Amino acid sequence: MNCSCGAAPVVALKVRLSRDELPCAKCGGQIVIDKMKAPREAMHALRRWVDEAFAIETLWFASGDYADWAKAELDNPKSKIVKLGLEVAKKVPNAWLIWETHAGARQAVDKYLDHCPICRDPSEPTGLQPAFGLGCAKCRVAGSAV
Ligand SMILES: [Zn+2]
Ligand SMILES: [Zn+2]
């Protein structure tokens, strides 16, 4: 299903099986990255985040020699990939970095986001889909409300 929000989608920065799409946190549909409207520099940073996050998730999922390193990058609020994601979430209009925890057995868990992983403040309702229903508007981080 494609995003039905027209000119005002809510971009969820979350790795998918495809590097060409991101989920819309408002309607739950898919946003085609090539059709997004944002300043050139923001789109450039977005593409870089998608490519790098996808590569690191792939290393984690492969459970090989780099899996522990990849998990540490993905779950560390201070890692380069998380910092880039936070930057993109502020540059692209209506974007949120989606926080997940990379558990064992190749599972990314949508953990109930009771506090912001970046500033540690309590999270607040975002009004978006339940998987992105709690977040920190200041840091532009959202996570599961269920
Ligand atoms: Zn939408
Ligand atoms: Zn925060």
- The answer to the question of residue 123 being in a domain is yes
Taking phi over 0 as left and psi of -120 to 50 as alpha, with beta for the rest, 15 belongs to beta
CA 87 to chain centroid, in Å, comes to 12
Give the residues across from 31 on adjacent strands.
22
Which stretches of the chain are assigned E, i.e. beta strand? 11-13, 21-23, 30-32, 95-98, 101-102, 108-109, 124-125, 134-136, 141-143
Per-residue confidence band for 111, with pLDDT thresholds at 50, 70 and 90: confident
- Ligand number nearest CA of 135 is 2
In a domain, 72, yes or no: yes
Within a domain: residue 4? no
Cα 66 to ligand 1 centre (Å): 35
Average pLDDT of 75-96? 97
The Å distance, Cα 65 to ligand 2 centre, comes to: 32
Residue in the block written with tokens 């990255």 = 33
Tokens standing for 144? 């599961």
Structural domain range at position 119: 11-143
Tally of domains in the chain = 1
**Pairing between β-strand 124-125 and β-strand 134-136 as defined by DSSP bridges:** antiparallel
Pick the ligand that lies closest to the CA of residue 128. Answer: 1
Task: Note whether residue 108 is domain-resident.
Answer: yes
Question: Does 28 score more than 80 pLDDT?
Answer: yes
Residues bordering ligand 2, an ion, CB closer than 5 Å: 116, 118-119, 136, 139
Residue 133: pLDDT band (50, 70, 90) is very high
Residues 6+ apart with CB under 8 A from 92: 11, 36, 38, 42, 43, 45, 46
Which ligand is nearest the CA of 134, by number?
2
What is the band of 62 on the pLDDT scale with cuts at 50, 70, 90? very high
